[in-house]
Amino acid sequence: MGIPRNNFYAQWRAQNQTRLFLREPDEPQPSERLVQGIWHHQRIVRDKLRTLDGRAVRILHPGFWNHASGPDFRSAVIQFEGEAAKSGDIEVDLVPAGWHGHGHDRNAAFKNVILHVVWNKPERSTRMDTLALEPFLDAPFNEIQSAIGGETGHSWPDEWRGKCCAPLSELPSERVVELLQQAAWIRLQRKAGELEARARQAGWEQALWEGLFRALGYKQNVWPMQRLAEILPVTAERQSSAVTLQARFLGSGGLLPDDVTDAPASATYLRNLWDIWWREREKFSDIALPPTLWRFHGLRPANQPQRRLALAAHWVAAPKFLQRLEKWFVEDDADVSEIDSLLECLQPDCDEFWSWHWSLRSPRLSKPQPLLGASRVTDLAINVILPWFWIRAHAGKNQKLEALAEKRYFNWPAAQDNSVLKLARQRLLAGRTLRGMTTAASQQGLLQVVRDFCEHSDAVCTNCLFPDLVRGWTQQK
Ligand code: SF4
């Protein structure tokens, strides 16, 4: 892919990953942490999975990465062929023998494990339901390792300033910004690589839909949204209206309340949806998701999945959605801000219910509210839309469009800091916002440093290579 040859950050990252993830040369296997990363990101061909005993299995949610003791992933939801979906934990080991070898079979904390995920196939059979990941990778191993090698999902206490803070503070602002831009390249490449891997399986358009749905799921509901996008070819027949699609998305997502009297403000709307869903539910019963898959805790009403699915229904129902998006991408109008022009492209017309209610239980608003806001537009652009245009242009060898996607990506205005960015700014930059750090790409670069370095160290920066790399780079220049 098109990372510039002189990207020094890519070389730093490679040094770090080689140290962290490769085992001894005579053991050509990934580390267990990398296998966990592959599972966490689902870098596998999800619609072809079979356990070691040949049963098809669907991963409806891979679970939440558990960094404490006990199984590696909590509260996953999976469905074996011909069975109802079930929820439980996932344990990751390199080989099936790890289950007995690590004493999990005798440990009560592992009694809710429903799937043992391993790297490759055993020589002898095993009694656990076991899935080997190696045969199902969605891209060559090196590509996946490079893309996700830096992620572990640890969180950090915020009272510590990082050891890299001193060498970074000695650099002029523009050099720090240059460093972050180079790190942002890696992030663009990673996101684009995931979209390309999926496009190889399902086509460019389907890969885009899955990216958009995932982005609408926020952190809490990425996986059910991904699953609803995966079944779009079945649920979203051509020329379906937005309300029909809302009925199908909410119905197949398990999000249609049974009791319409329970939510008086939405009773008429829900009755309309049920009128549609009653006729169709049988057809989709095999692919319907259990309602327990969704997370609502801590979500503002405006971010609830039903509202996000209502927006997605408008996009899918629009006959020329993709053409409109392509037109937005190539028409670089200097008079309108990037955010406003994309917002205009993605904002649906007024929705009879959702423009007037934040959620199914909210009272009617005094004035209509848009289904999409500016911060979500930046998230969609940086994480899905621009990486998708970039990698599609790259794959099609269209250098002009590739350059346009890069320009738009690196010029996109910064979004509000999230908690990870706030912490990174404190630890790496002593809370400073440097001149020139006004783009979303500089935020992406900061996030990439956190993932590549901070998340492999600890609160006191033990064994982190980053400070020395920054010092060495400073001396070179
Ligand atoms: S772990 Fe490394 S990159 Fe992170 S704050 Fe510490 S020194 Fe900086």
In this structure, what token pair is assigned to residue 297? 């805790």
CB neighbourhood size of 5 (10 A): 5
Is the beta carbon of 467 within 6 A of some atom in ligand 1?
yes
Q: Is the shortest distance between the CB of 465 and ligand 1 below 6 Å?
A: no
Q: Which atom of ligand 1 is nearest to the CA of 163?
A: 7
Q: What is the DSSP string of 324-359?
A: HHHHHHH---TTS-HHHHHHHHHPPSPPTTTTT-SS
Query: Are 445 and 216 a contacting pair, CB within 8 Å?
Result: no
Q: Which residue has the tokens 């010029």?
A: 411
Query: Strands 113-118 and 130-132: what pairing?
Result: parallel
> Using CB atoms within 10 A of its CB, is residue 320 exposed (0-12), middle (13-18) or buried (19+)?
exposed
Length of the chain: 477
Distance in angstroms (rounded) separating the CA atoms of residues 391 and 194: 10
Is the CB of residue 447 below 6 angstroms from any atom belonging to ligand 1? no
**Cα torsion angle, 361, 364, 369, 371, sign:** positive
pLDDT tens per residue across all 477 residues of the chain = 556 667 888 888 777 766 665 544 444 468 888 899 899 889 999 999 999 989 999 998 888 878 777 899 988 889 999 999 888 999 999 888 888 888 888 888 899 999 999 998 776 666 789 999 999 999 988 888 877 765 544 433 444 578 999 999 989 889 999 999 999 999 999 999 999 999 999 999 999 999 999 999 988 899 999 999 999 887 787 678 999 999 999 999 999 988 766 667 788 999 999 999 999 888 888 888 999 999 987 788 888 999 999 999 999 999 899 999 999 999 877 777 889 999 999 999 999 999 999 988 888 999 999 999 888 999 999 999 999 999 999 999 999 999 999 999 999 999 888 878 887 888 899 877 777 788 999 999 999 999 999 888 876 788 899 999 999 887 766
CA distance 194 to 384: 10
Answer whether 456 contacts ligand 1 (Cβ < 6 A): no
| Segments making up each domain of the chain, as ranges | 44-136
Specify the residue with its C-alpha closest to ligand 1, atom 5: 162
Could you tell me which residues come within 8 angstroms of residue 275 by beta carbon, excluding any fewer than 6 positions away? none
Q: Using CA atoms, how far apart are residues 409 and 243, in angstroms rounded to an integer?
A: 34
> Does the C-beta of 454 come closer than 6 Å to ligand 1?
yes
pTM of the model: 0.80
CA 271 to chain centre: 33
